[in-house]
Amino acid sequence: MVEAPEPEAPQVVAIMFTAMAVSDAQPLQEGGLELALREEHGRLIRELLPSQGGREVKMLEDGFLLEFDGGLPAVHFGLALQEAVAERNRLAPPEQHLELRIGVHLGPVVHREGDVFGEGVNLAARIEALARPGTLYVSEAVALELEAHPLPQAVRLERAGLKNIRLPVRVFRVEPRGYPVRPAIFARVRSFITQLRPGS
C-alpha cells in the first residue's frame, strides 16, 4: 500500500494575474495581431520579472499567473509593466495598442507540481477581472504593505462583492505617481514595435 503524500503547508505570497483587455474597437479575433500582442505581452513580462524577484507560474489564454515574495515587489513590477506598455503604445498605431488589466492579492497558497492553488489565487483572479484596462488593482492585504512607502500609493475603491469569494473585500487602485522605469526597458519596447510593423 502506497501512502498518500503529505499535503504541502500553505505559504503567504503575492499572486498576480495579468490579462489582455478586449475592446470593441480592437477585438482580439484578428489572428496575426492577436498572436503578436500575446507574444509581446510575454516578452515584456519576462524582461521585467527578474528585477523584481518574481516567478512565472504559468501562461494563460489571455495573460499570466505570477508569484512574488511580497506585495511591494509585486506592485513595483505591476507599475513597471503598465508604464512599459504605455510607452510601447505611444510608439504604436492605435490599432496595435496593447492594454492590460492587473490584479494582486497577498495571501496563503499551496504549491503543488509547479502550480499554485487556494483562495488566494481565486481572489487575485477576481481582482484582476475588476481592474480597468491600464490599471493595477490590489487587495487590502497588499495595500497595507504600501502604507510605509511614499511610492506607490493605493486609493481605496468602493467595497466590492467578488464572485466565488465568501466575504466582501476592499479593493484598491494603485497610483503610479511617477514610478520610474529603466531606460533599457524603453529600448526593448521600441524593438518590439519594430517587429510588429509590416515588412520588418
* Residue-by-residue pLDDT tens, the chain, 200 positions: 555 556 578 899 999 999 998 654 455 555 578 888 899 999 999 999 998 889 999 999 889 999 999 999 999 999 999 999 999 999 888 888 999 999 999 999 999 999 999 989 999 999 999 999 999 999 999 999 988 787 677 888 866 566 666 667 889 999 775 545 544 444 555 554 455 454 44
Listing DSSP states for 61-127 in one string gives: SSEEEEEESSHHHHHHHHHHHHHHHHHHHHTS-GGG---EEEEEEEEEEEEETTEEESHHHHHHHHH
- Is omega for the bond preceding 152 within 30 degrees of 0, making it cis? yes
18's enclosing H/E stretch is strand 11-20
Q: Is residue 42 classed as helix, strand or coil in its secondary structure? A: helix
pLDDT, one tens digit per residue, over 88-107 is 999 888 888 999 999 999 99
Q: Assess contact for 169 and 137: CB atoms under 8 A.
A: no
- Interhelix angle for 183-196 vs 31-48, to 10°? 160
Q: How far apart are CA 200 and CA 197, in angstroms?
A: 6
pLDDT score, position 57:
97
195's enclosing H/E stretch is helix 183-196
Q: Assess contact for 192 and 185: CB atoms under 8 A.
A: no
99 alpha-carbon distance from chain centroid: 11
Q: How far apart are CA 44 and CA 54, in angstroms?
A: 13
The answer as to CATH 3.10.620.30 being correct for domain 11-21+29-196 is no
> Minimal CA–CA distance to 104: which of 21, 15, 171, 41?
15
* Cα angle 192-198-200, degrees, rounded to a multiple of 5: 55
- What are the φ/ψ torsions at residue 45 (nearest 5 degrees)? -60, -45
CA distances from 134 to 6, 20, 21, 104, 108 (A): 41, 10, 9, 14, 27
